[in-house]
Homo-oligomer: A and B are copies of this chain.
Amino acid sequence: MMSSENELEGLREQIADTTREIIDLVAARNALAKKVGELKMKGSIPLEDAKVEDSLVRLVLGECETKGLDGQTGLKILSTLLAEGKRVQGFPAKQQLITPMMMSAKAQQIEATGKKLLRLDVGEPDFHPPKAVLDATSEALYAYRTRYAPTRGIPELVTAVRQYIDRRHHFPVKDSEVIVNPGGRFGVYMALMSSVREGESAIVIEPNWPAYKEGLQYIGARAISVHTTLEEGWLPSVDAVQDAIRPNTRAIVLSYPANPTGAILAPEKFRGIVEVADEHGLTVISDEIYTDYSYAPTPSILETPAKKFILTASFSKTWAMTGFRVGYTVSSEENISKMMKIQSLIVTCVPEFIQRGAIKALGSDPEVASNAAAMRERIDLASRELDAIPALQYAKPDGAMYIFPQARNADFDSVAFTMKLLEEKGVTISPGTGFGDYPRAFRVSLGGSKETIVEGIRKIGELLA
Protein backbone atom coordinates (compact mmCIF):
# COMPACT_ATOMS: atom_id res chain seq x y z
CA MET A 1 0.00 0.00 0.00
CA MET A 2 2.80 2.37 0.98
CA SER A 3 4.72 1.88 -2.27
CA SER A 4 1.60 2.48 -4.33
CA GLU A 5 1.10 5.73 -2.42
CA ASN A 6 4.69 6.69 -3.17
CA GLU A 7 4.08 5.87 -6.80
CA LEU A 8 0.97 8.04 -6.74
CA GLU A 9 2.97 10.86 -5.20
CA GLY A 10 5.61 10.52 -7.92
CA LEU A 11 3.02 10.58 -10.69
CA ARG A 12 1.39 13.65 -9.19
CA GLU A 13 4.73 15.42 -9.15
CA GLN A 14 5.22 14.56 -12.81
CA ILE A 15 1.72 15.86 -13.58
CA ALA A 16 2.51 19.09 -11.77
CA ASP A 17 5.79 19.44 -13.69
CA THR A 18 4.06 18.81 -17.00
CA THR A 19 1.36 21.36 -16.10
CA ARG A 20 4.07 23.90 -15.36
CA GLU A 21 5.80 23.16 -18.67
CA ILE A 22 2.52 23.64 -20.52
CA ILE A 23 1.96 27.02 -18.89
CA ASP A 24 5.56 28.02 -19.68
CA LEU A 25 5.05 27.09 -23.33
CA VAL A 26 1.83 29.10 -23.44
CA ALA A 27 3.77 32.08 -22.12
CA ALA A 28 6.50 31.47 -24.73
CA ARG A 29 3.86 31.21 -27.44
CA ASN A 30 2.41 34.53 -26.30
CA ALA A 31 5.81 36.17 -26.54
CA LEU A 32 6.02 34.96 -30.16
CA ALA A 33 2.50 36.20 -30.87
CA LYS A 34 3.43 39.58 -29.48
CA LYS A 35 6.39 39.80 -31.88
CA VAL A 36 4.07 38.89 -34.76
CA GLY A 37 1.79 41.71 -33.66
CA GLU A 38 4.64 44.22 -33.65
CA LEU A 39 5.81 43.07 -37.06
CA LYS A 40 2.31 43.33 -38.46
CA MET A 41 1.92 46.82 -37.03
CA LYS A 42 5.17 47.95 -38.65
CA GLY A 43 4.39 46.33 -41.98
CA SER A 44 0.69 47.32 -41.92
CA ILE A 45 -0.22 43.69 -42.40
CA PRO A 46 -3.78 42.89 -41.36
CA LEU A 47 -3.84 41.36 -37.90
CA GLU A 48 -6.26 38.51 -38.47
CA ASP A 49 -5.27 35.69 -40.75
CA ALA A 50 -7.84 32.98 -41.20
CA LYS A 51 -5.42 30.80 -43.20
CA VAL A 52 -2.88 30.73 -40.37
CA GLU A 53 -5.66 29.81 -37.98
CA ASP A 54 -6.86 27.04 -40.30
CA SER A 55 -3.39 25.54 -40.57
CA LEU A 56 -3.11 25.53 -36.76
CA VAL A 57 -6.48 23.75 -36.54
CA ARG A 58 -5.17 21.11 -38.95
CA LEU A 59 -1.90 20.81 -37.05
CA VAL A 60 -3.66 20.37 -33.71
CA LEU A 61 -6.17 17.82 -35.02
CA GLY A 62 -3.33 15.87 -36.68
CA GLU A 63 -1.22 15.95 -33.53
CA CYS A 64 -4.19 14.86 -31.40
CA GLU A 65 -4.75 11.89 -33.68
CA THR A 66 -1.06 10.89 -33.56
CA LYS A 67 -0.85 11.21 -29.78
CA GLY A 68 -4.25 9.72 -29.01
CA LEU A 69 -5.64 12.93 -27.56
CA ASP A 70 -9.32 13.83 -27.90
CA GLY A 71 -9.62 16.26 -30.82
CA GLN A 72 -12.16 18.49 -29.11
CA THR A 73 -9.81 18.93 -26.16
CA GLY A 74 -7.05 19.97 -28.55
CA LEU A 75 -9.37 22.43 -30.31
CA LYS A 76 -10.48 23.90 -27.01
CA ILE A 77 -6.90 24.48 -25.92
CA LEU A 78 -6.07 25.98 -29.32
CA SER A 79 -9.07 28.27 -28.96
CA THR A 80 -7.71 29.55 -25.62
CA LEU A 81 -4.24 29.97 -27.14
CA LEU A 82 -5.58 31.87 -30.16
CA ALA A 83 -7.73 34.19 -28.04
CA GLU A 84 -4.82 34.96 -25.73
CA GLY A 85 -2.46 35.36 -28.70
CA LYS A 86 -4.82 37.89 -30.26
CA ARG A 87 -5.11 39.78 -27.02
CA VAL A 88 -1.35 40.18 -26.59
CA GLN A 89 -0.94 40.97 -30.31
CA GLY A 90 -2.99 44.04 -29.53
CA PHE A 91 -6.08 43.08 -31.51
CA PRO A 92 -8.63 45.83 -31.07
CA ALA A 93 -11.46 44.82 -28.77
CA LYS A 94 -14.24 43.40 -30.95
CA GLN A 95 -15.66 46.25 -33.01
CA GLN A 96 -19.10 47.17 -31.79
CA LEU A 97 -21.47 46.69 -34.70
CA ILE A 98 -24.83 48.39 -34.89
CA THR A 99 -27.27 45.49 -34.86
CA PRO A 100 -31.00 45.85 -35.53
CA MET A 101 -31.58 45.31 -31.80
CA MET A 102 -29.35 48.26 -30.95
CA MET A 103 -31.11 50.46 -33.50
CA SER A 104 -34.39 49.45 -31.95
CA ALA A 105 -33.16 50.30 -28.44
CA LYS A 106 -31.91 53.67 -29.70
CA ALA A 107 -35.20 54.42 -31.46
CA GLN A 108 -37.19 53.45 -28.34
CA GLN A 109 -35.08 55.87 -26.28
CA ILE A 110 -35.74 58.72 -28.69
CA GLU A 111 -39.44 57.92 -28.86
CA ALA A 112 -39.59 57.95 -25.07
CA THR A 113 -38.68 61.66 -25.23
CA GLY A 114 -41.86 62.24 -27.25
CA LYS A 115 -40.20 62.57 -30.65
CA LYS A 116 -41.96 60.84 -33.57
CA LEU A 117 -39.85 58.57 -35.77
CA LEU A 118 -40.51 56.72 -39.00
CA ARG A 119 -39.43 53.25 -37.89
CA LEU A 120 -37.93 51.22 -40.74
CA ASP A 121 -35.65 49.36 -38.33
CA VAL A 122 -38.10 47.15 -36.46
CA GLY A 123 -37.87 43.39 -36.90
CA GLU A 124 -41.53 42.81 -36.15
CA PRO A 125 -44.78 43.22 -38.07
CA ASP A 126 -47.38 45.73 -36.90
CA PHE A 127 -50.15 43.15 -37.30
CA HIS A 128 -52.13 42.07 -34.25
CA PRO A 129 -51.96 38.56 -32.85
CA PRO A 130 -55.08 36.53 -33.77
CA LYS A 131 -57.96 37.23 -31.39
CA ALA A 132 -58.21 33.51 -30.58
CA VAL A 133 -54.63 33.69 -29.27
CA LEU A 134 -55.41 36.62 -26.96
CA ASP A 135 -58.59 34.94 -25.72
CA ALA A 136 -56.91 31.59 -25.04
CA THR A 137 -54.00 33.28 -23.25
CA SER A 138 -56.30 35.36 -21.08
CA GLU A 139 -58.60 32.44 -20.32
CA ALA A 140 -55.65 30.30 -19.27
CA LEU A 141 -54.47 33.11 -17.04
CA TYR A 142 -57.82 33.32 -15.23
CA ALA A 143 -57.96 29.52 -15.06
CA TYR A 144 -54.74 29.79 -13.03
CA ARG A 145 -52.56 28.13 -15.64
CA THR A 146 -49.88 30.08 -13.80
CA ARG A 147 -47.72 27.28 -12.36
CA TYR A 148 -44.48 25.69 -13.55
CA ALA A 149 -44.97 23.92 -16.87
CA PRO A 150 -42.98 20.96 -18.24
CA THR A 151 -39.61 22.01 -19.72
CA ARG A 152 -40.44 20.48 -23.12
CA GLY A 153 -43.71 22.40 -23.28
CA ILE A 154 -47.25 21.41 -22.30
CA PRO A 155 -48.28 18.15 -24.03
CA GLU A 156 -51.17 19.90 -25.83
CA LEU A 157 -48.83 22.37 -27.55
CA VAL A 158 -46.25 19.69 -28.37
CA THR A 159 -49.03 17.66 -29.99
CA ALA A 160 -50.31 20.72 -31.88
CA VAL A 161 -46.79 21.42 -33.20
CA ARG A 162 -46.41 17.81 -34.33
CA GLN A 163 -49.73 17.91 -36.16
CA TYR A 164 -48.95 21.29 -37.72
CA ILE A 165 -45.63 19.96 -39.04
CA ASP A 166 -47.27 16.84 -40.40
CA ARG A 167 -49.95 18.92 -42.11
CA ARG A 168 -47.44 21.31 -43.71
CA HIS A 169 -44.50 19.09 -44.47
CA HIS A 170 -45.90 15.55 -44.28
CA PHE A 171 -43.11 14.92 -41.84
CA PRO A 172 -43.85 12.65 -38.89
CA VAL A 173 -42.28 13.88 -35.64
CA LYS A 174 -42.29 12.27 -32.22
CA ASP A 175 -42.96 14.21 -29.00
CA SER A 176 -39.35 13.52 -28.00
CA GLU A 177 -38.15 15.38 -31.10
CA VAL A 178 -39.85 18.68 -30.18
CA ILE A 179 -39.18 21.37 -27.58
CA VAL A 180 -41.11 24.60 -27.01
CA ASN A 181 -38.70 27.52 -26.42
CA PRO A 182 -38.99 31.04 -25.03
CA GLY A 183 -38.65 32.55 -28.53
CA GLY A 184 -36.84 31.72 -31.75
CA ARG A 185 -33.69 33.42 -30.48
CA PHE A 186 -33.43 30.96 -27.61
CA GLY A 187 -34.08 28.12 -30.08
CA VAL A 188 -31.20 29.31 -32.27
CA TYR A 189 -28.92 29.62 -29.23
CA MET A 190 -29.75 26.08 -28.14
CA ALA A 191 -29.34 24.77 -31.69
CA LEU A 192 -25.82 26.22 -31.77
CA MET A 193 -25.04 25.02 -28.23
CA SER A 194 -26.09 21.47 -29.02
CA SER A 195 -24.12 21.16 -32.28
CA VAL A 196 -20.98 23.33 -31.99
CA ARG A 197 -18.48 23.49 -29.13
CA GLU A 198 -15.66 25.81 -28.14
CA GLY A 199 -12.82 25.73 -30.68
CA GLU A 200 -15.07 24.35 -33.41
CA SER A 201 -16.72 26.32 -36.23
CA ALA A 202 -19.98 26.73 -38.14
CA ILE A 203 -20.78 28.19 -41.55
CA VAL A 204 -23.13 31.15 -41.88
CA ILE A 205 -24.31 32.76 -45.11
CA GLU A 206 -23.85 36.55 -45.21
CA PRO A 207 -25.73 38.83 -45.02
CA ASN A 208 -27.60 37.31 -42.09
CA TRP A 209 -29.29 37.87 -38.75
CA PRO A 210 -26.49 38.82 -36.32
CA ALA A 211 -27.66 36.37 -33.64
CA TYR A 212 -26.00 33.45 -35.45
CA LYS A 213 -22.52 34.94 -35.30
CA GLU A 214 -23.06 36.39 -31.82
CA GLY A 215 -24.22 32.98 -30.58
CA LEU A 216 -21.14 31.27 -31.98
CA GLN A 217 -18.88 33.90 -30.47
CA TYR A 218 -20.57 33.37 -27.10
CA ILE A 219 -19.83 29.64 -27.32
CA GLY A 220 -16.19 30.33 -28.26
CA ALA A 221 -16.70 28.90 -31.74
CA ARG A 222 -15.76 30.50 -35.04
CA ALA A 223 -18.29 31.67 -37.62
CA ILE A 224 -17.07 31.02 -41.16
CA SER A 225 -18.89 33.46 -43.42
CA VAL A 226 -19.90 32.67 -46.97
CA HIS A 227 -20.22 36.12 -48.52
CA THR A 228 -23.01 36.63 -51.07
CA THR A 229 -23.66 39.67 -53.24
CA LEU A 230 -26.61 41.53 -54.67
CA GLU A 231 -25.47 40.38 -58.14
CA GLU A 232 -25.90 36.76 -56.98
CA GLY A 233 -29.35 37.61 -55.68
CA TRP A 234 -27.90 37.24 -52.14
CA LEU A 235 -27.74 33.46 -52.60
CA PRO A 236 -24.73 31.17 -52.07
CA SER A 237 -23.56 28.51 -54.49
CA VAL A 238 -23.22 24.94 -53.27
CA ASP A 239 -19.51 25.15 -54.15
CA ALA A 240 -18.97 28.23 -52.00
CA VAL A 241 -20.45 26.38 -49.03
CA GLN A 242 -18.36 23.30 -49.75
CA ASP A 243 -15.18 25.44 -49.93
CA ALA A 244 -15.93 27.03 -46.56
CA ILE A 245 -15.84 23.74 -44.65
CA ARG A 246 -12.87 23.39 -42.29
CA PRO A 247 -11.72 20.31 -40.35
CA ASN A 248 -13.36 21.71 -37.21
CA THR A 249 -16.65 22.70 -38.88
CA ARG A 250 -19.67 21.09 -37.25
CA ALA A 251 -22.74 22.94 -38.53
CA ILE A 252 -24.14 25.24 -41.17
CA VAL A 253 -26.87 27.78 -40.52
CA LEU A 254 -29.43 28.40 -43.28
CA SER A 255 -32.50 30.65 -43.14
CA TYR A 256 -34.83 31.16 -46.10
CA PRO A 257 -36.60 33.50 -46.67
CA ALA A 258 -33.56 35.41 -45.43
CA ASN A 259 -33.23 38.31 -43.05
CA PRO A 260 -32.22 41.00 -44.22
CA THR A 261 -32.50 40.28 -47.96
CA GLY A 262 -35.78 38.41 -48.35
CA ALA A 263 -33.98 36.07 -50.76
CA ILE A 264 -35.14 32.46 -50.97
CA LEU A 265 -32.80 29.64 -51.92
CA ALA A 266 -34.48 27.34 -54.46
CA PRO A 267 -35.38 24.01 -52.83
CA GLU A 268 -33.04 22.04 -55.16
CA LYS A 269 -30.05 24.26 -54.28
CA PHE A 270 -30.98 24.01 -50.60
CA ARG A 271 -30.98 20.24 -51.02
CA GLY A 272 -27.55 20.47 -52.66
CA ILE A 273 -26.18 22.21 -49.57
CA VAL A 274 -27.84 19.62 -47.34
CA GLU A 275 -26.07 16.88 -49.34
CA VAL A 276 -22.70 18.57 -48.85
CA ALA A 277 -23.46 18.91 -45.13
CA ASP A 278 -24.37 15.22 -44.95
CA GLU A 279 -21.13 14.21 -46.70
CA HIS A 280 -19.13 16.11 -44.09
CA GLY A 281 -21.22 15.08 -41.10
CA LEU A 282 -22.40 18.65 -40.45
CA THR A 283 -25.61 19.57 -38.69
CA VAL A 284 -27.88 21.79 -40.80
CA ILE A 285 -29.55 24.41 -38.60
CA SER A 286 -32.51 25.75 -40.55
CA ASP A 287 -34.13 28.85 -39.11
CA GLU A 288 -37.56 28.87 -40.74
CA ILE A 289 -39.01 31.85 -38.93
CA TYR A 290 -40.11 33.70 -42.11
CA THR A 291 -41.50 30.67 -43.96
CA ASP A 292 -45.05 32.01 -44.02
CA TYR A 293 -43.97 35.24 -45.71
CA SER A 294 -42.90 33.44 -48.92
CA TYR A 295 -43.79 34.31 -52.50
CA ALA A 296 -41.62 31.75 -54.29
CA PRO A 297 -40.93 28.02 -53.77
CA THR A 298 -39.43 27.81 -50.29
CA PRO A 299 -37.25 25.05 -48.90
CA SER A 300 -37.76 23.38 -45.55
CA ILE A 301 -35.21 21.17 -43.88
CA LEU A 302 -38.11 18.80 -43.17
CA GLU A 303 -38.51 18.23 -46.92
CA THR A 304 -34.90 17.09 -47.43
CA PRO A 305 -33.20 13.84 -46.43
CA ALA A 306 -30.84 15.73 -44.03
CA LYS A 307 -29.15 13.31 -41.65
CA LYS A 308 -28.37 15.78 -38.87
CA PHE A 309 -30.62 18.80 -38.64
CA ILE A 310 -32.21 21.28 -36.28
CA LEU A 311 -35.28 23.27 -37.29
CA THR A 312 -35.95 26.45 -35.35
CA ALA A 313 -39.31 28.19 -35.67
CA SER A 314 -41.19 30.91 -33.87
CA PHE A 315 -44.66 32.31 -33.41
CA SER A 316 -43.23 35.84 -33.61
CA LYS A 317 -43.49 36.82 -37.26
CA THR A 318 -46.28 34.71 -38.78
CA TRP A 319 -48.74 35.46 -36.00
CA ALA A 320 -47.27 38.81 -34.86
CA MET A 321 -46.44 37.35 -31.45
CA THR A 322 -42.94 38.77 -30.95
CA GLY A 323 -43.78 39.88 -27.41
CA PHE A 324 -45.04 36.43 -26.38
CA ARG A 325 -41.51 34.95 -26.58
CA VAL A 326 -42.51 31.52 -27.80
CA GLY A 327 -41.13 29.28 -30.52
CA TYR A 328 -40.21 25.65 -31.04
CA THR A 329 -37.36 23.47 -32.20
CA VAL A 330 -37.44 20.11 -33.97
CA SER A 331 -34.41 17.80 -34.06
CA SER A 332 -33.24 14.32 -33.13
CA GLU A 333 -34.26 12.99 -29.72
CA GLU A 334 -30.60 13.22 -28.70
CA ASN A 335 -30.29 16.91 -29.59
CA ILE A 336 -33.64 17.80 -28.07
CA SER A 337 -32.60 16.05 -24.90
CA LYS A 338 -29.43 18.22 -24.74
CA MET A 339 -31.62 21.28 -25.24
CA MET A 340 -33.99 20.18 -22.48
CA LYS A 341 -31.04 20.18 -20.08
CA ILE A 342 -29.96 23.70 -21.06
CA GLN A 343 -33.52 25.05 -21.07
CA SER A 344 -34.38 23.54 -17.68
CA LEU A 345 -31.16 24.89 -16.22
CA ILE A 346 -31.57 28.43 -17.54
CA VAL A 347 -35.26 29.24 -17.91
CA THR A 348 -37.27 26.30 -16.47
CA CYS A 349 -40.15 26.58 -18.95
CA VAL A 350 -42.31 28.82 -21.14
CA PRO A 351 -45.35 30.27 -19.28
CA GLU A 352 -48.27 27.86 -19.67
CA PHE A 353 -50.83 30.59 -20.43
CA ILE A 354 -48.63 31.69 -23.35
CA GLN A 355 -48.44 28.12 -24.61
CA ARG A 356 -52.24 27.90 -24.48
CA GLY A 357 -52.31 30.97 -26.75
CA ALA A 358 -49.73 29.45 -29.10
CA ILE A 359 -51.94 26.39 -29.63
CA LYS A 360 -54.62 28.68 -31.06
CA ALA A 361 -52.07 30.37 -33.34
CA LEU A 362 -51.39 27.06 -35.08
CA GLY A 363 -55.05 26.91 -36.05
CA SER A 364 -55.27 30.53 -37.28
CA ASP A 365 -54.83 29.95 -41.03
CA PRO A 366 -56.97 32.93 -42.18
CA GLU A 367 -54.81 35.38 -40.20
CA VAL A 368 -51.65 33.82 -41.63
CA ALA A 369 -52.99 34.22 -45.18
CA SER A 370 -54.02 37.81 -44.58
CA ASN A 371 -50.69 38.74 -42.94
CA ALA A 372 -48.79 37.11 -45.82
CA ALA A 373 -50.89 38.99 -48.41
CA ALA A 374 -50.31 42.28 -46.60
CA MET A 375 -46.56 41.67 -46.48
CA ARG A 376 -46.50 40.90 -50.19
CA GLU A 377 -48.21 44.22 -50.91
CA ARG A 378 -45.64 46.00 -48.76
CA ILE A 379 -42.78 44.35 -50.66
CA ASP A 380 -44.31 45.48 -53.96
CA LEU A 381 -44.90 48.97 -52.63
CA ALA A 382 -41.41 49.36 -51.17
CA SER A 383 -39.90 48.07 -54.41
CA ARG A 384 -41.77 50.67 -56.45
CA GLU A 385 -40.58 53.39 -54.10
CA LEU A 386 -36.97 52.18 -54.31
CA ASP A 387 -37.19 52.09 -58.12
CA ALA A 388 -37.51 55.87 -57.94
CA ILE A 389 -34.15 56.27 -56.16
CA PRO A 390 -31.35 56.12 -58.75
CA ALA A 391 -28.59 56.01 -56.11
CA LEU A 392 -29.76 52.59 -54.88
CA GLN A 393 -29.91 49.08 -56.29
CA TYR A 394 -31.76 46.18 -54.72
CA ALA A 395 -32.89 42.62 -55.38
CA LYS A 396 -36.62 42.33 -54.99
CA PRO A 397 -37.35 40.03 -52.03
CA ASP A 398 -39.17 36.74 -52.57
CA GLY A 399 -40.22 36.68 -48.94
CA ALA A 400 -39.60 37.75 -45.33
CA MET A 401 -40.32 41.35 -44.30
CA TYR A 402 -37.25 43.38 -45.31
CA ILE A 403 -35.48 44.90 -48.30
CA PHE A 404 -31.70 45.28 -48.38
CA PRO A 405 -30.88 48.13 -50.78
CA GLN A 406 -27.27 48.88 -51.69
CA ALA A 407 -25.79 52.24 -52.74
CA ARG A 408 -24.28 52.39 -56.23
CA ASN A 409 -21.56 54.60 -54.76
CA ALA A 410 -18.70 52.27 -53.79
CA ASP A 411 -17.64 54.62 -50.95
CA PHE A 412 -21.07 54.71 -49.31
CA ASP A 413 -20.88 54.41 -45.51
CA SER A 414 -24.14 52.90 -44.27
CA VAL A 415 -23.40 53.60 -40.60
CA ALA A 416 -22.84 57.32 -41.24
CA PHE A 417 -25.90 57.38 -43.51
CA THR A 418 -28.04 55.67 -40.87
CA MET A 419 -27.06 58.27 -38.28
CA LYS A 420 -27.61 61.18 -40.66
CA LEU A 421 -30.99 59.78 -41.71
CA LEU A 422 -32.05 59.52 -38.08
CA GLU A 423 -30.92 63.03 -37.22
CA GLU A 424 -32.05 64.89 -40.31
CA LYS A 425 -35.13 62.92 -41.35
CA GLY A 426 -36.24 61.05 -38.22
CA VAL A 427 -36.13 57.74 -40.11
CA THR A 428 -34.57 54.59 -38.60
CA ILE A 429 -32.95 51.83 -40.68
CA SER A 430 -30.29 49.20 -39.82
CA PRO A 431 -26.82 49.57 -41.35
CA GLY A 432 -25.58 46.73 -43.56
CA THR A 433 -22.47 46.15 -41.45
CA GLY A 434 -24.73 44.69 -38.77
CA PHE A 435 -25.44 41.76 -41.13
CA GLY A 436 -21.91 41.09 -42.42
CA ASP A 437 -19.37 42.91 -44.58
CA TYR A 438 -21.89 45.23 -46.27
CA PRO A 439 -20.90 48.88 -45.72
CA ARG A 440 -22.84 49.96 -48.84
CA ALA A 441 -26.15 48.37 -47.87
CA PHE A 442 -28.83 48.87 -45.23
CA ARG A 443 -31.96 47.05 -44.12
CA VAL A 444 -35.39 48.56 -44.55
CA SER A 445 -38.01 46.77 -42.47
CA LEU A 446 -41.52 46.40 -43.82
CA GLY A 447 -42.98 45.77 -40.40
CA GLY A 448 -44.67 49.19 -40.30
CA SER A 449 -47.69 50.58 -42.14
CA LYS A 450 -47.72 51.37 -45.87
CA GLU A 451 -47.64 55.07 -45.03
CA THR A 452 -44.53 54.61 -42.88
CA ILE A 453 -42.85 52.60 -45.62
CA VAL A 454 -43.64 55.10 -48.40
CA GLU A 455 -42.79 58.18 -46.37
CA GLY A 456 -39.65 56.59 -44.90
CA ILE A 457 -38.26 55.44 -48.25
CA ARG A 458 -39.04 58.84 -49.83
CA LYS A 459 -37.04 60.51 -47.09
CA ILE A 460 -34.18 58.11 -47.77
CA GLY A 461 -34.38 59.20 -51.40
CA GLU A 462 -34.37 62.87 -50.41
CA LEU A 463 -31.26 62.46 -48.31
CA LEU A 464 -29.50 60.57 -51.08
CA ALA A 465 -30.46 63.10 -53.76
- Interface of A with B (CB < 8 Å)? 1, 4-5, 7-8, 11-12, 14-16, 18-30, 32-33, 35-36, 39-40, 42-43, 45, 52, 55-56, 59-60, 63-64, 67-70, 73-74, 76-78, 80-81, 83-85, 87, 101, 104-105, 108, 112, 122-124, 128-129, 134, 137-138, 141-142, 144-151, 155, 182-183, 185-186, 189, 211, 214-215, 218, 320-325, 342, 344-354
- Known contacts A20-B63, A146-B324, A325-B349; 14 further A-B pairs (Cβ under 8 A): A18-B25, A18-B29, A22-B29, A22-B77, A22-B81, A24-B67, A27-B67, A27-B68, A73-B83, A105-B150, A185-B346, A323-B353, A325-B351, A346-B346
Q: Can you list 21 residue pairs at the A/B interface with Cβ under 8 Å?
A: A8-B45, A15-B56, A16-B59, A19-B56, A20-B63, A22-B77, A23-B69, A27-B69, A70-B84, A101-B348, A104-B148, A105-B151, A108-B150, A122-B148, A134-B142, A145-B323, A146-B322, A148-B322, A182-B347, A189-B345, A323-B349
Give the contacting residue for A18; candidates B28, B123, B189, B215; CB below 8 A. B28
Q: What is the CA–CA distance of A52 and B14 in the complex, to the nearest angstrom?
A: 13
- In the assembled complex, which residues on chain B have CB atoms less than 8 Å from the CB atom of A43? 1, 4-5, 8
Q: What is the CA–CA distance of A463 and B72 in the complex, to the nearest angstrom?
A: 49
- In the assembled complex, which residues on chain B have CB atoms less than 8 Å from the CB atom of A104? 148
Give the contacting residue for A32; candidates B1, B14, B69; CB below 8 A. B14
B186 and A347 form a contact (CB under 8 A)? yes
Least distance between A438 CB and chain B CB atoms (Å): 21
- In the assembled complex, which residues on chain B have CB atoms less than 8 Å from the CB atom of A150? 105, 108
A11 and B24 form a contact (CB under 8 A)? no
A137 and B141 form a contact (CB under 8 A)? yes
Least distance between A428 CB and chain B CB atoms (Å): 14
- In the assembled complex, which residues on chain B have CB atoms less than 8 Å from the CB atom of A346? 185-186, 189, 346
Give the contacting residue for A124; candidates B15, B123, B147; CB below 8 A. B147
- In the assembled complex, which residues on chain B have CB atoms less than 8 Å from the CB atom of A78? 19
Q: What is the CA–CA distance of A112 and B24 in the complex, to the nearest angstrom?
A: 59
B146 and A321 form a contact (CB under 8 A)? yes
Chain B residue nearest to A148 in the complex (CB): B322
A144 and B128 form a contact (CB under 8 A)? yes
A138 and B129 form a contact (CB under 8 A)? no
Q: What is the CA–CA distance of A137 and B351 in the complex, to the nearest angstrom?
A: 13
- In the assembled complex, which residues on chain B have CB atoms less than 8 Å from the CB atom of A33? 15
Q: A73-B80, A345-B214, A346-B186 are in contact. Are A322 and B147 (CB under 8 A)?
A: yes
Least distance between A130 CB and chain B CB atoms (Å): 11
B19 and A29 form a contact (CB under 8 A)? yes
A351 and B354 form a contact (CB under 8 A)? yes
Give the contacting residue for A36; candidates B8, B32, B183; CB below 8 A. B8
Least distance between A72 CB and chain B CB atoms (Å): 9
Least distance between A24 CB and chain B CB atoms (Å): 6
Give the contacting residue for A323; candidates B67, B85, B146; CB below 8 A. B146
- In the assembled complex, which residues on chain B have CB atoms less than 8 Å from the CB atom of A42? 4
Q: A39-B8, A104-B148, A146-B322 are in contact. Are A211 and B15 (CB under 8 A)?
A: no
Q: What is the CA–CA distance of A137 and B140 in the complex, to the nearest angstrom?
A: 12
Q: What is the CA–CA distance of A321 and B141 in the complex, to the nearest angstrom?
A: 11
Least distance between A242 CB and chain B CB atoms (Å): 26
